[in-house]
Structures are given as structure tokens and as C-alpha cells.
Amino acid sequence: MKMNEYIDDFTHHLKEAMEIGNSSNLNKSEISFNNILICGLGGSGIGGTIVNDIISPDSNIPITSTKDYNVPNFVDENTLVIASSYSGNTEETIFALEKCIERNAEVCIITSGGKLKDIAIEKNFNYIIIPGGHPPRAMFGYAFTELFYVLNKYGVINDSFKNDFKKAIQLLKTEKQDIQKQALLLAEKMYNQTPVIYVASGFEGVAVRFRQQINENSKMLCWHHVIPEMNHNELLGWRTNVDNLAVVYFRNKLDYDRNQIRIEINKKVLSKFTQNITEIWSKGDSVIENTLYHIHLGDWVSWYLSEMNNVDAVEIDVINYLKEELAKL
């Protein structure tokens, strides 16, 4: 399949992921968790980052994501560890999981197979299997959705997320043509430019996903930052080396009001150095709807840019080379 076909199937992915989550048979735990650690990298790991953004404001326990071989020192028998690797063979995730197992953490695995599935069966861990054989970043809708089901099964969140997902699926279907139209216009403004992505605090995971999709699908460099932190440092960087930059603000009605004001002031400052500034407002009433709206639109932008750049959006030769070299050691 081509990447645009995967993107076009996004609402189907979300719907099927909900079906998988609803039918999952996870054993209940009597442990009182002090914290949650989500292990994962790349297309599998970004779901943990975004879930952290969505859940943390209302969670009674801290949620942390790790994208490394190592794990925080707080991990112990009162930690819920969710290991997410689409292939099931992500080196860093397996190393991190082994450290968590040594500390007797409660483990749940989300994967399509590979070594992680073998570990789950061998150790009798809870696990959810998602469809395999596709680019991990293209299957974001599955791994991301299952994280909510895992947290719900363990009693960390209630099941209100299900209605938000259903509304998001309908929203994306209804807005399909408009989303693609906006994405194409934004891609045209980003073509032959270096994209600069800004979001308000609480939506950084969305910006990271967009950046990663531009990196992997469009084969382009770009960067992102978050408001208000950006106001305390990067804003001063808008003095030199500001040629060929395309700025995009992903905005939401739910963004904190003081950050809304900051963004308006930001735009005035940046307009002195570039006129290539675009705002994309999400639609929907919930954080989940806003998040999935921006993610879907950003995915389409990355596809249009890949076409403009005449590159294969699916190809990851240099990443495969890196893995092959590591395997020799």
C-alpha cells in the first residue's frame, strides 16, 4: 500500500482498534499503582507522548513516556509499564522492558507480534495484538487507541474516551474533503521551506507527530516548539537565519486563554521576519477530537509534501541500515 492509502484508512483503523480494545481480555490487577511508564519509540512511542498530554491533567498518578534503553529509577512493583512496539522487536523497548521486569513492575504489551509477543506469552503478561505487516507510523491509530483501553482496564481512566473516539471518527469522515484541502494548501506553503511547528502546551505530542511524519514521509528536516516555553527562548532566535521558513500554528479552542494571547503576540513578532505563517484550527469538542483532527491533517500534509519532493513516503532505507549495523555488534 502507498502511504496515502494508509492515511485514507485512518478512521477505519480507529474503528477497528476500538473493536479490538472492546474485545480484549486483560486480567485485572489488585495493585495500587504509584506511577505509569509507557515504553516505545517512533511511530509506536508517539502514542505514549500524546496520551500523556491528554490523560495527565486529570490523572491522580504521574504518567511518563520513555524512548530509551533505560528506565526511570522510580519503576518498581507499584508501576504499571506499557510496552508498545508495533513490530515487537524494537531494540530499545525490549531493553527497557527487561529492566522493568527485573523490578517486578506490572506489565502490559501492545504489539503486532515479534519478541514482545513471545515475552508476553512466556511471562503471562497482559497484551493486545494489533494487525501487523505495515509501516509502524501508518498504524498509529491502532497503538494509540489501545493505550486508552489498557489504562481503562487497569482502572486509571473511565470509559468516557470511547464516546470521544466515536465522535472523532465521525468528525474526520465529515470533514474529509476540507481536511485534505487545508493539508494541500499547507503543503504548498511548506514546499522548499523548512517547516516550523508551534502548538500550545498540552498538545506537544501532536507537534512531535507532525514533525516525525514530515521527517519520515516527506524526507525533510523541520522543528517544533511549545508555547509558552517558546516565549522564553526561541522567540529571540527570530533575528538571523530566518530565510525559507514556513511557520504553522496548530490551534485549538481548548488551548489555555493566556496561551491564546501569547500566540497572537507571537504572530506579530514573527511577521516581521516572514509572511509564511499559517494557522490551522482543530474541530471537535474534546481533546481527543482536537488531537486526532490535527494528526490526520498533518499526516495528509506529509503525504502531499512527499509527492512534491518526489520521494517514496514508505521507504526508510537509512533507518534499516542503522538497524543492520547495530545488529552486527
Instruction: Provide the annotated active-site residues.
Output: 216, 232, 323
Dihedral of the alpha carbons of 14, 17, 23, 28, in degrees to the nearest 10: -110
DSSP state of 95: H
Q: How far apart are CA 86 and CA 140, in angstroms?
A: 9
Q: Is residue 14 within 8 Å of residue 145, measured between CB atoms?
A: yes
**Sequence-separated (6 or more) residues with CB below 8 Å from residue 177:** none
- Grid cell for residue 132: 501487523
Strands 126-129 and 194-200: unpaired
Q: How far apart are CA 59 and CA 267, in angstroms?
A: 33
| Omega prior to 228 cis, within 30 of 0 | yes
Per the listing, cell 534499516 goes with 320
- Grid cell for residue 202: 498540552
Q: Measured at the alpha carbon of residue 223, what is the angle toward residues 72 and 274, in degrees to the nearest 5?
A: 150
